[in-house]
Structure 1
Amino acid sequence: MAEDRNSLLQFLTRNYSTDELKTLCFQLFVDFDNLAGDTKSAKARELILHLERADRMSDLGPILGRDKPIAYRREFTKDPPIPRIPPRRNRDMNQVFLSHAQEDEAFARRIAADLQAEGWTVWMAPDSIMPGETWVEAINRGLEESGFYLLVQTPAAVASRWVVTETNVAIGLEHQHLMRFIPLDVSPSRPPPLWTAYQNVPFRDNYLRGLEHLLARLNGRSPRPWPSAGTGVKGTGNGDNVTQSDASRIFTNRLLHDRTRIELVRVPAGNFLFGTNSPEADNECTQRTIHLHEFWIASNPVTNAQFAKFVEATRYTTTAETTGFSRVWIGGRWVEVEGAYWKRPEGSRDNIENRPHHPVVCVSWFDAQAYCEWAGLRLPTEKEWEKAARGTDGRLYPWGNENPRHQRANFGMRPGHPTPAGQYSPAGDSPYGVSDLAGNVWEWTSSWFESRAAKSKPTKVVRGGAWPSEPLNLRATYRLDVDPSLRFNTVGFRVSAHLGDPGF
C-alpha cells in the first residue's frame, strides 16, 4: 500500500484501542503477544515492521479501510482499497491444505513445491491469502475448498494456537467425510491425543521416502518398497522394512530432479540379459548379455502436470497441435481425431483437468525430446529401458515370470483408459522399484528401430505396452516401431539421466 509507515503508525495509534489492535493482529494471523514492546504504540510499530518483513503490507490497507472506513477517508483523503475476495469454489480433491507453524516454513515450502510438481494444488498461508482477506476468512475458504489437510507435525505446531484450531476443525471435517486428514511426522512432538488416532507419514529420517509415502496416500495406493541395493526388492511392500542404518545408502538410490521434481531411481552398472531366447519376429531381440554403465530413470512416466509445467515455461506447441489431430483408439480401431492433443487426448470434448497425475499422451517423439532438452535430461535407450524393467535375472515381466494380472498392470481394456502413474505400485514394480513399465502407456525411447526387413522410413522404438494391449505386449523384451512424428492416446514417455548430463 502507498501509505508510509509513519502515517500508518499514527493511524493505528489514534484509531485503534489495545483490544482492537489485538483483533487486527488476529485478523492478520500475527501473534500480538510476540510483538515487542509494552505500549499500544510500540505494538503497532512492531506490527508494521513485521508485515514489511513478510512482504504483506498489501494486506493491511483493505482491512483498515473495512474496519475504520470514515477514519481512513479522513486521514488518507481517499477511499480505502477494496478487498479482492475470491468466490467460494467447490471442494477440490486435487487440493491440499498445508498447515504449519511459522518456524516450520522452510519444510512447508519444500513439500509444497514437490506436491505442486506432482500436479497438486496447495493452499498454504500466507501465500494463498488474498490482500484484504482476513486470515480467518482465508482459512475458512481453504478448509472449505480442499480435499486433504496435511499437518506439518512438530513441537512448534503443537504449541501454535492457530495450528491446533485448524487441525481440530479439519478432524471434524474428516468425521463428516468431507476432508482427509494426514499428519506429517517431521520431528518428535507430543500432539493432542486426538491427533494420534490418525496414521502419520514419517519424514524424520528420509525426506524422499516420506514424500513417496505421502504421494501414495494422496493417490490412494500403497507406497512402493524401497530397493535394498538397487538390484532387488525385499519386504512386505509397505516401505517399512528399511532400517535406520540403511537410510543414507537408500537415499543415494532415489533423488528428486531439481527442475522437474521428477523422482529418479538409480540402476547400477553391470551386465544383464537383453532380449529373449524365442524372439517374436522383429518385435523382440535375440538374447545376449550386455553391460551398461550406471544410469538413473524416472520412477513413473511423465504426467500431465509435469508436461504442463514445461509447456507453461516454454510456450511449446506440440506436434498434434500443429497438425491438428492425433490417433485415438476407439471401438477396437485407430481413428484420426481432429483436435486431439495432450490436453484433450480423445478430442475437443475431452480434457485432463481432473487427471493431473495420469501419464501425458498424444505426444510425438519430438515432443518428448523437447521436454527432455528443457529439463536437461534425456529419453532412455531401449537397452536401458529393458534393464530398468527386468533387472539382471532375465525375468519376463517387471514383477517376475507370472503372467500379467489386472492387479499388477493396466492392460486388456480394463479399465479401458490410462490410470494415474504408479497406481499399480508396488505389485507391478520392477526389481529397482520403477513403476508402470508394463501397461498403461507405451513409452518412447531414444533408440532407432533396427529391423531385419528394409523400412521405407526410420522409426523409433516404443516399449512397455498400454491400456488396450494384449499380455504379450507387456513382456519386458517386447518392442514396437513407431514413426517419431505420430501421436497416439496410448503413447507417453519417461526420462532418464547419467551423472554427467547437464540437468542432473
Structure 2
Amino acid sequence: MKIFISYASQDRAQVEPIRYALEEQGHEVFFDRDDLPVGESFTTRIRSAIERCDLFVCCITPDTVDAGSYTLNELDIARRVFPRPSGRVLPVVLRKVPFDQIPAWLKSVTLLETPGNVTAAVADAVHQIARKRKLQRMKRIGIGSAVVLIAAVALYNVAPPTTDDATADTGNAQPENTLNLGPQIPIEAGQFIFGDDVNTPRRNLYVSPFLIDQHEVTTSLYAAFMEATGSDPAPDEWEQFDPASHGELPVIGVSWNEANAFCKWAGKRLPTEAEWEKAARGSDQRLYPWGDDEPTPEHATFERTADYAYEGGVTAVGSHPMGQTPEGVQDLAGNVSEWVSDWYSDSFDRDDTRNPQGPAEGSGKVIRGSGWQDPAEELLAVKRYHANQSTRQTDLGFRCAMDQPQ
C-alpha cells in the first residue's frame, strides 16, 4: 500500500521507527516532506501525495493539534480527500491529548492507543488492513457464477445499441447500450438557489429540463454491467455481495471512473452538481430532499454502524418513501452518497449560471448526498464533498441522469 504518515516535526524521532517498520512490510511510505519533488507549490505537492495514498496514518500528540502546526493543514486536506475516513485513515495516539481537542473527523474512526510498543501496534494494524484488502481481492475471483446469473436476468431488458441518438450536451460519448434502470423522474427547467453561503456560495442558477433515475444504481444492475463489459476490478466489499438477498441494495465502493463508465454504457450520464442539487433541493430552498422536517429513520438510512455496507449498512433502494422529493426521487439523503460529473472547486465563475458543468479540470470529483454512517446534520441537501476520481468508499455510489427529450 501507499501510506502517508502525518506527524508534527517535534515527534519525528518517535515516528521514524514506525516508518521503517512499515517499509519492511513492503509498503511505500511518504514520510519526509523535504523529499517532495520541486516544481509545484508545497501544499499542492502535499495534497497530491495524500490523494495518491491508500492509507493516511495520523500520529496524534499535543504538537499535532497545536495551532500553527502543519499537521492541521494535512488533516484538512485528508478530510477533503477522504470525507468518509473509515478504512482509509488510521489515527495513532503517541502521547495523550484531551479528547475534545482531537478533530471530530478523526474521532469518527477508532483511535489506536496502546500501553505497549506503539511501533509494533501500528505495524500490526496496518498488516491487518492490508491483509483484509488482499483477501477482498482474492474473494472477488469466486463471484463469477453469481454475477452471470444476475446478469442473465438484468440483461433481458438491454436493447441493442442505437445510432440515431444525439450525444448529450455534457460531451459524453455515444451510448453503448440502453439499459432499463427503472423509473426516471423528470425535473422541470427553471431557476433555483444553489448553495447556502456556508457549504458553498449562494448562486442563482438555471438548469434545463432533465431526467434523473428515481433510485441509485443497484448491485444487480452493476453486476450486469460487469458481466457485459468485463469490468475489473470488482467494487469494494463485493465478496460480501449475496445475489439472493442483496440485489436491490445500492452498489458501493466504485470509483468515479467506474460510475461514469456505467452511465455511458447505459446510454446515460452522471448528473451535474447543479442538476443533483436542483433535484434534491428544488426551487423552494428546502433543507432536505423531502422538506424541512428533521431527519428520522422513516426518511433515510443514516447513523448506522456495521462492519460491512451490505450487512447492516445500506438498505434497499426506495425503502424510504417519506424521504423522497416532491417529484419522487428517492434516497438523495442517506444510504449512499453519490458521484456527480463535475470537477471540484471552492469558487465559481459568477457568469457560469446556465447549466454549469463545473471547472474544466481539478484534483477531485464532487460527491453529493450522504451515507449510511453519517449523522443527521450531514443529510442537508447543500452538503458537498470531493475525492480523487479513483477513490472508493463503502458508503459511496451513484445514479444516472440524461437530457430530457424535447
What is the rounded CA distance, in whole Å, between the counterparts of 2:155 and 2:335 in structure 1?
18
Instruction: Name the aligned partner's letter for residue 463 of structure 1.
Output: R
**Deviation by residue 1:208-234 (Cα, 9 ceiling, x = unmatched):** xxxxxxxxxxxxxxxxxxxxxxxxxxx
User: Match of 2:224?
Assistant: 309
Does 1:388 find its partner at 2:293?
Answer: no
**Deviation by residue 1:326-376 (Cα, 9 ceiling, x = unmatched):** xxxxxxxxxxxxxxx35x34xx5x223220000001100000011011111
Instruction: Name the aligned partner's letter for residue 421 of structure 1.
Output: V
User: Match of 1:83?
Assistant: none
**Deviation by residue 1:196-218 (Cα, 9 ceiling, x = unmatched):** xxxxxxxxxxxxxxxxxxxxxxx
2:200–2:346 CA contact under 8 A, matched in 1: no
Instruction: Choose which of 217, 236, 242 in structure 2 pairs with 1:352.
Output: 242
What is the rounded CA distance, in whole Å, between the counterparts of 1:499 and 1:452 in structure 2?
29
1:119–1:357 CA contact under 8 A, matched in 2: no
User: Match of 1:285?
Assistant: 200
Query: In the TM superposition, what is the alpha-carbon distance from 1:482 to its structure 2 partner?
Result: 1.0
Instruction: Choose which of 310, 326, 332 in structure 2 pairs with 1:431.
Output: 326
What is the rounded CA distance, in whole Å, between the counterparts of 2:265 and 2:229 in structure 1?
8
Query: In the TM superposition, what is the alpha-carbon distance from 1:414 to its structure 2 partner?
Result: 6.4
Instruction: Choose which of 248, 251, 266 in structure 2 pairs with 1:375.
Output: 266
User: Match of 2:396?
Assistant: 491
What is the rounded CA distance, in whole Å, between the counterparts of 1:417 and 1:294 in structure 2?
34
Does 1:418 find its partner at 2:314?
Answer: yes
What is the rounded CA distance, in whole Å, between the counterparts of 1:289 and 1:118 in structure 2?
41
Instruction: Name the aligned partner's letter for residue 432 of structure 1.
Output: E
What is the rounded CA distance, in whole Å, between the counterparts of 1:443 and 1:118 in structure 2?
24
Does 1:403 find its partner at 2:294?
Answer: yes
Instruction: Name the aligned partner's letter for residue 484 of structure 1.
Output: Q
What is the rounded CA distance, in whole Å, between the counterparts of 1:418 and 1:435 in structure 2?
14
Does 1:264 find its partner at 2:184?
Answer: yes
User: Match of 1:177?
Assistant: none
Query: In the TM superposition, what is the alpha-carbon distance from 1:272 to its structure 2 partner?
Result: 1.1
Does 1:470 find its partner at 2:375?
Answer: yes
Which secondary structure does the structure 2 equivalent of 1:497 belong to? strand
1:275–1:287 CA contact under 8 A, matched in 2: yes
1:390–1:431 CA contact under 8 A, matched in 2: no
**Deviation by residue 1:380-430 (Cα, 9 ceiling, x = unmatched):** 0111001111211000101111111111000111685000011011x0001
What is the rounded CA distance, in whole Å, between the counterparts of 1:351 and 1:439 in structure 2?
20
1:406–1:414 CA contact under 8 A, matched in 2: no
User: Match of 1:81?
Assistant: none
What is the rounded CA distance, in whole Å, between the counterparts of 1:424 and 1:483 in structure 2?
30
Which secondary structure does the structure 2 equivalent of 1:443 belong to? strand
**Deviation by residue 1:439-480 (Cα, 9 ceiling, x = unmatched):** 000100001110259xx9611111110000022221110000
Alignment of 1:22-421 (within 5 A): 116-117=153-154, 258-277=178-197, 279=198, 284-318=199-233, 321=234, 341-342=235-236, 344-345=237-238, 348=239, 350-353=240-243, 354-413=245-304, 416-421=312-317
User: Match of 2:341?
Assistant: 446
Instruction: Name the aligned partner's letter for residue 443 of structure 1.
Output: E
2:186–2:404 CA contact under 8 A, matched in 1: no
Alignment of 1:3-22 (within 5 A): none
Query: In the TM superposition, what is the alpha-carbon distance from 1:266 to its structure 2 partner?
Result: 0.3
**Deviation by residue 1:270-303 (Cα, 9 ceiling, x = unmatched):** 11111114x1xxxx21222211100000000000
What is the rounded CA distance, in whole Å, between the counterparts of 2:393 and 2:347 in structure 1?
25
1:119–1:305 CA contact under 8 A, matched in 2: no
What is the rounded CA distance, in whole Å, between the counterparts of 2:217 and 2:209 in structure 1?
21
* Structure showing greater relative contact order (alpha-carbon pairs closer than 8 Å, 6 or more residues apart): 2
What is the rounded CA distance, in whole Å, between the counterparts of 1:356 and 1:380 in structure 2?
23
The structure-2 alpha-carbon separation of the partners of 1:494 and 1:437, relative to structure 1 and needing over 3 Å to count, comes to same
User: Match of 1:108?
Assistant: none
1:472–1:478 CA contact under 8 A, matched in 2: no
2:333–2:380 CA contact under 8 A, matched in 1: yes
Structure 1 regions of 5+ residues with no counterpart? 1-112, 121-256, 322-340
Structure 2 regions of 5+ residues with no counterpart? 1-149, 158-176, 307-311, 349-360
Comparing 410-419 and 287-296, the one that deviates more: 410-419
2:178–2:265 CA contact under 8 A, matched in 1: no
Radius of gyration: which is bigger? 1
Which secondary structure does the structure 1 equivalent of 2:323 belong to? coil
Instruction: Name the aligned partner's letter for residue 428 of structure 1.
Output: G
Instruction: Name the aligned partner's letter for residue 442 of structure 1.
Output: S
State the TM-score, normalized to the length of structure 1: 0.41
Query: In the TM superposition, what is the alpha-carbon distance from 1:258 to its structure 2 partner?
Result: 4.8
What is the rounded CA distance, in whole Å, between the counterparts of 1:500 and 1:458 in structure 2?
33
Q: Show structure 1 runs of 4+ deviating over 4 A.
A: none
Instruction: Choose which of 363, 366, 373 in structure 2 pairs with 1:458.
Output: 363
State the TM-score, normalized to the length of structure 2: 0.50
2:214–2:330 CA contact under 8 A, matched in 1: yes
1:276–1:286 CA contact under 8 A, matched in 2: yes
The structure-2 alpha-carbon separation of the partners of 1:119 and 1:482, relative to structure 1 and needing over 3 Å to count, comes to farther
Query: In the TM superposition, what is the alpha-carbon distance from 1:314 to its structure 2 partner?
Result: 1.1
What is the rounded CA distance, in whole Å, between the counterparts of 2:362 and 2:403 in structure 1?
30
What is the rounded CA distance, in whole Å, between the counterparts of 1:292 and 1:452 in structure 2?
19
What is the rounded CA distance, in whole Å, between the counterparts of 1:392 and 1:118 in structure 2?
37
What is the rounded CA distance, in whole Å, between the counterparts of 1:443 and 1:275 in structure 2?
17
